[in-house]
Amino acid sequence: MTSKNKQLKYIVHLKPVKQQFMKEITLQIKFTEYEALTQLSEKDNNLIMKAREAAKNAYAPYSGFRVGAAVLLGNGIIVTGNNQENAAYPSGLCAERTALFYASAQYPKVSVVAIAISTINRTATPSDIAKPCGACRQVMAEYEDLAGKPVQIILDSTDRILILNGIDNLLPLRFKKEDVK
């Protein structure tokens, strides 16, 4: 089994109001696709197993869609979190933000190195590739900015695993600190 490097291309069309021209810009994202846990490093494999375990304990009585996240910190500690639903939607919280916020609260100023995300559906088997929502992607971007280097993002499923190096490969047109000044 070998890993596969893949690229997705997005075409963006910009059309200014005052001028009549169009400029086509291509954005590319890169990820590596693996077919099995056995192809991964021990570190990545362990992180995925922690995310899967966290997903089992998610509180998802309404959707049945359980998500687990495992965050590897710069000091070697792994912090996990899972989604927490609430009857008063949107009072719940996603697994990724649960884990990242807990990590930051317990280990302030310790950088995030990697995050693994895994999902389980109602039948308790890992489902399709875990895809973080927009809010979680933006929170990951904030912690990557704090770390000052790309955070490894591992998206897990039963038949494949995607590894992305940095949030720009998951959220290419994101908000940055400079955008809110």
User: How confident is the model over 158-181, as a mean pLDDT?
Assistant: 88
User: How confident is the model over 54-75, as a mean pLDDT?
Assistant: 95
Mean pLDDT for all residues in the chain: 88
At residue 124, does pLDDT exceed 70? no
Instruction: Domain ranges for the chain, please list them.
Output: 32-180
* Greater pLDDT, 167 or 21: 167
Helices (H), the chain: 42-56, 95-106, 134-147
* Greater pLDDT, 129 or 94: 94
Task: Note the pLDDT of residue 52.
Answer: 95
At residue 8, does pLDDT exceed 70? no
Helix 42-56 / helix 95-106 crossing angle, nearest 10 deg: 110
Query: The domain 32-180: what is its CATH number?
Result: 3.40.140.10
Q: How far apart are CA 141 and CA 158, in angstroms?
A: 26
**Catalytic-role residue among 96, 142, 144, 178:** 96
Q: Give this prediction's pTM.
A: 0.85
* Greater pLDDT, 116 or 21: 116
Task: Note the pLDDT of residue 173.
Answer: 85
Q: Which long-range contacts (CB under 8 A, 24 or more apart) does 123-128 make?
A: 124/56, 125/158, 126/52, 126/55, 126/156, 126/157, 126/158, 127/65, 127/157, 127/158, 128/157
Q: How far apart are CA 174 and CA 162, in angstroms?
A: 20
For the question of residue 96 being annotated catalytic, the response is yes
